[in-house]
Structure 1
Amino acid sequence: EEEDDFGYRLFPDRNKKPQSFLVRSLFTFHNKCQLMLRMTLETNPYAQLLLEAMKQSGCTVFNDRHFSCENCDGCVSGGFDSATSQIVLCQNNIRHQSHMNRVVTHELIHAFDHCRAHVDWFKNVKHLACSEV
């Protein structure tokens, strides 16, 4: 029986064994992604507003748990994995701080909707459309 894909083909690192810190840091964009993410979370007012709103809604975000820098296929920049409540940042496609700021803000909106409104991402197209707007 074929499992539903839910777009995981765009995030091939989702099902792989994690690499060691040394391999991630030296041989990928992982370190740069982590630094840009940290900068966004510390300085971007939209990201800070959304994180505070999530906290007020009872969904505290832990950076090392709820954000993941991974390699992705195609031109995708990031995504929100509702199964793990995790924001995936495509370290091989996000090259500039301004891009990281936009992606984190966009995905935090999905995370907030998931927390606050309990969005049914895969069965209710109206929920998905509302979160995208």
Structure 2
Amino acid sequence: MMKKVMTALFLALLLVPQPARAIDEEAVMRCLMREILASLTCKSVDDFRFVGRRDEVYVFNTHYAAKFTEFYCQVFDKDVVVTSRAWQGKMASARIKYESQPGCISATVNSPWSECRAPRVVQCCGSD
């Protein structure tokens, strides 16, 4: 009898639905913005420091053009517009694609005037 009770308890524990693992979409988006900035400026991703976010504008800081400079990444649905005072009014853009793999986001970066002119695809994935 005890063996049947233990087996039933074991099976009940196995059949309990597990909570879904959450992906930190905010962290994945910050990662993607840093990848976009690195692609546009030919700098390392680690050079960009996240300053903050207001509405859909992500603000990053790095040493650029011989001084510390802020970069603004504004997200519009599936588009990102990147600006900086150092660029004197020029803007860059990227197209966001939500990947079929859960928690992954990629972006196609294209800015013909930036230091790194070749279009690139960058990607970030969240961890469970």
In the superposition, the TM-score normalised over structure 1's length comes to 0.28
More helix per residue: 1
More strand per residue: 2
In the superposition, the TM-score normalised over structure 2's length comes to 0.29
Q: Which structure: larger Rg? A: 2
